[in-house]
């Protein structure tokens, strides 16, 4: 099979000059192709091209940018099968989930095409009658976008779409695990002026060079807490803007008021929230706090449903859960499960490789009795693992939910309005989902409290992340002010 492995720099496709990246298919463990990274010199060229594209792009009226952004959405949708196939090849997730990702990416461009047409600031009350004052929102300039492998296109589009809509140009770097799906995007940007979008492959060194690059005004990063911390420090060192989306350890609270049918539904919702993309979602539910009254029924329903799921070839439409992305990620999740079991936890189901001779398959795991201080309860797992813990009261559930330094998302199942309002006010997380886990909305901000992030993507907040606010104060008369010198 032929792959598009060239970088997009200044509107041209060029071969990378840097180190080779071997792309592995996690379902077969075969090397699909080797992609040449960008060299640091090529990154410089990409930044120069993005800088050269700023004047025309930044000055284009939003109404003229909008059809160009909608055109990107159309081109993305037209490539759904190609892009979905590439993501499934690189990550191992079921094709259905990859197709969804292309659709959500396209919708994000449509959203920002329209949202950016409605305002570029606001009019504020002046302090004297002869004056007029406004806030003008201007683009930063060049935005460097650094993304992880788990939703390679969506998380990139959450950056590119608002950055372009705000009048910035971009230099984008996918994860070294997923260069193919990102480089295959090159032609969706064909109708933009050259240099507006640049795509460079590379690993940590190119990410680090982006964070430190004097020609990059803002870095939009998604990835782990450890890497995000480095990016934040590199940006702070040169006072560049940074938007950081990092890891999580999301809680999932189940209240006893939801009744028998609700327990069954919340078990299915919990399994989906824990196992989607083989548990490799930043907002995967990784800690379940279930009221004692319904705990036994909930665990039984969760285990039964987990056993019914189909683990297998991600290209087979019957497959619910494909392999994990790599041996390293699988090993990390298994190590947390094994350490919890060694400390007294019970593994009720899962943990094997689904009988597959090859591939990083991990049967989804349900555990009870996991010690509260184990890594499985306190550190990001990023695998299909659900530890379930009984709680006596809502207060205990909320205290446990808030007990870690993460605060990305949180889920609650309840029919009680008072419980819902208490949770939405008291749970410290950037997204709180009540009775509908993990549902994002282009119009709603996405991001983390505490170590999970600084800044927001999506919504009008996600547009402001790529705009600088300028206060403009005008007086219609030229006169000396009575508060000037002399004071005496
Ligand atoms: P990672 O931090 O290892 O890598 C993320 C990106 O940073 C990659 O492109 C990588 O090449 C690059 N990078 C590596 N070292 C760098 C450096 N020194 N400077 C700059 N860039 C560097 O993360 P990952 O393993 O690719 O992704 C999984 C992590 O991403 C998980 O922790 C997950 O929770 C998080 N994530 C967060 C969100 C969110 O929106 N908050 C969404 C998805 C994933």
Q: Judge if the beta carbon of residue 45 lies within 6 A of ligand 1.
A: no
Proportion of the chain above pLDDT 90, given as a percent? 100
Mean pLDDT of the 433-439 span: 98
The phi, psi pair for 21, rounded to 5°, reads -115, 120
pLDDT of residue 306: 98
User: Using CA atoms, how far apart are residues 341 and 59, in angstroms rounded to an integer?
Assistant: 60
pLDDT of residue 122: 98
Q: Judge if the beta carbon of residue 409 lies within 6 A of ligand 1.
A: no
Mean pLDDT of the 398-414 span: 98
51 and 166 housed in the same domain = yes
Does 175 fall in a domain?
yes
b/e sequence 18-34, b meaning 16+ C-beta within 10 Å: bbebebbbbbbeeebbe
Does 279 fall in a domain?
yes
Q: Judge if the beta carbon of residue 230 lies within 6 A of ligand 1.
A: yes
pLDDT of residue 276: 98
**Cα–Cα distances in angstroms (integers) from residue 351 to residues 19, 29, 110, 298, in the given order:** 36, 19, 41, 20
pLDDT higher than 90, residue 2: no
280 and 225 housed in the same domain = no
Domain containing residue 164: CATH number: 3.40.605.10
132 and 205 housed in the same domain = yes
> What is residue 430's DSSP assignment?
S
User: Using CA atoms, how far apart are residues 381 and 359, in angstroms rounded to an integer?
Assistant: 19
Does 480 fall in a domain?
no
Does 311 fall in a domain?
yes
pLDDT higher than 80, residue 3: yes
C-alpha 230 – ligand 1 centre gap (Å): 11
Q: Which residues pair with 311 in a beta bridge?
A: 321
pLDDT higher than 80, residue 166: yes
C-alpha 26 – ligand 1 centre gap (Å): 19
131 and 27 housed in the same domain = yes
Mutate which of 37, 101, 148, 203 for ligand 1? The one with the most ligand atoms within 8 Å of its CB, which is 148
Q: Which of 254, 209, 199 is nearest to 231 (CA)?
A: 209
pLDDT higher than 80, residue 260: yes
Q: Judge if the beta carbon of residue 407 lies within 6 A of ligand 1.
A: no
Q: Which of 276, 469, 462 is nearest to 364 (CA)?
A: 276
Q: What is the pLDDT of residues 109-159, one digit of tens each?
A: 999 999 999 999 999 999 999 999 999 999 999 999 999 999 999 999 999
Q: Judge if the beta carbon of residue 207 lies within 6 A of ligand 1.
A: yes
pLDDT of residue 11: 98
Does 361 fall in a domain?
yes
User: Using CA atoms, how far apart are residues 301 and 365, in angstroms rounded to an integer?
Assistant: 14
Crossing angle between the packed helical segments 62-78 and 95-118, to the nearest 10 degrees:
170
Band (1; pLDDT cuts 50, 70, 90): confident
C-alpha 124 – ligand 1 centre gap (Å): 39
77 and 128 housed in the same domain = yes
Give the domain range for residue 369.
250-434
Supply the residues annotated as catalytic.
245, 282
C-alpha 371 – ligand 1 centre gap (Å): 28
Band (286; pLDDT cuts 50, 70, 90): very high
273 and 198 housed in the same domain = no
Does 403 fall in a domain?
yes
pLDDT of residue 233: 98
105 and 226 housed in the same domain = yes
Q: What is the pLDDT of residues 219-254, one digit of tens each?
A: 999 999 999 999 999 999 999 999 999 999 999 999
- Spatial contact of 7 and 200, defined as CB atoms under 8 Å apart: yes
Domain containing residue 295: CATH number: 3.40.309.10
Q: Judge if the beta carbon of residue 286 lies within 6 A of ligand 1.
A: no
Cut 0.75: pTM above it: yes
C-alpha 127 – ligand 1 centre gap (Å): 46
Q: Judge if the beta carbon of residue 332 lies within 6 A of ligand 1.
A: no
Nearest residue by C-alpha to atom 43 in ligand 1: 282
User: Using CA atoms, how far apart are residues 71 and 87, in angstroms rounded to an integer?
Assistant: 22
187 and 268 housed in the same domain = no
Does 321 fall in a domain?
yes
Band (337; pLDDT cuts 50, 70, 90): very high
Task: Domain count for the chain, please give it.
Answer: 2
155 and 12 housed in the same domain = yes
Mean pLDDT of the 190-219 span: 98
95 and 190 housed in the same domain = yes
261 and 211 housed in the same domain = no
Q: What is the pLDDT of residues 294-316, one digit of tens each?
A: 999 999 999 999 999 999 999 99
183 and 218 housed in the same domain = yes
Does 440 fall in a domain?
no
């Amino acid at each position: 099979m032929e792959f598009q492995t060239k970088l997009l720099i200044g509107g041209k496709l060029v071969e990378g000059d840097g180190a080779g990246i071997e792309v592995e298919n996690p379902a077969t463990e075969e090397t699909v192709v080797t992609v040449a990274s960008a060299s640091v010199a090529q990154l410089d060229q990409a930044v120069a091209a993005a800088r050269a594209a700023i004047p025309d792009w930044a000055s284009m009226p939003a109404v003229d940018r909008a059809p160009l952004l909608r055109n990107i959405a159309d081109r993305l949708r037209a490539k759904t099968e190609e892009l979905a196939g590439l993501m499934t090849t690189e990550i191992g997730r079921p094709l259905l989930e990859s197709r969804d990702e292309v659709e959500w990416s396209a919708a994000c461009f449509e959203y920002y095409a329209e949202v950016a047409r409605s305002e570029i600031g606001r009019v504020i009350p002046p302090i004297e009658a002869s004056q007029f004052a406004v806030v003008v929102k201007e683009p930063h300039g060049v935005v460097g976008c650094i993304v992880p492998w788990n939703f390679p296109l969506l998380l990139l589009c959450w950056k590119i779409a608002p950055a372009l809509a705000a009048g910035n140009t971009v230099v984008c770097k996918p994860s070294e695990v997923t260069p193919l799906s990102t480089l295959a995007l090159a032609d969706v940007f064909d109708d933009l002026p050259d240099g507006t979008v640049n795509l460079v492959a590379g690993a940590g060194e190119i990410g680090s060079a982006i964070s430190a690059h004097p020609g990059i005004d803002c870095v939009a990063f998604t990835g782990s807490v450890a890497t995000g911390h480095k990016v934040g420090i590199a940006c702070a060192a040169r006072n560049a803007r940074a938007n950081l989306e990092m890891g999580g350890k999301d809680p999932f609270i189940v209240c006893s008021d939801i009744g028998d049918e609700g327990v069954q539904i919340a078990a299915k919702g919990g399994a989906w929230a824990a196992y989607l993309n083989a548990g490799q979602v930043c907002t995967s539910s990784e800690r379940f706090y279930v009221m004692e009254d319904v705990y036994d029924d909930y665990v039984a329903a969760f285990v039964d449903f987990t056993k019914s799921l189909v683990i297998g070839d991600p290209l087979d439409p019957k497959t619910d859960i494909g392999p994990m992305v790599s041996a390293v990620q699988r090993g990390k999740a298994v190590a947390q499960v094994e350490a919890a079991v060694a400390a007294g936890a019970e593994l009720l189901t899962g943990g094997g490789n689904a009988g597959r001779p090859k591939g990083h398959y991990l049967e989804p795991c349900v555990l009870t009795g996991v010690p509260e201080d184990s890594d499985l309860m306190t550190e990001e797992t990023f695998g299909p693992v659900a530890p379930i813990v009984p709680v006596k009261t809502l207060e205990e559930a909320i205290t446990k939910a808030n007990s870690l330094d993460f605060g990305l998302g949180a889920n609650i199942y309840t029919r009680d309005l008072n419980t819902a309002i208490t949770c939405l006010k008291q749970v410290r997380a950037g997204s709180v989902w009540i009775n509908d886990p993990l549902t994002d909305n282009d119009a709603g901000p996405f991001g983390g409290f505490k170590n999970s992030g600084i800044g927001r993507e999506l919504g009008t907040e996600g547009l402001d992340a790529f705009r600088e606010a300028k206060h403009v104060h005008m007086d219609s008369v030229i006169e000396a002010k009575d508060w000037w010198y002399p004071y005496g």
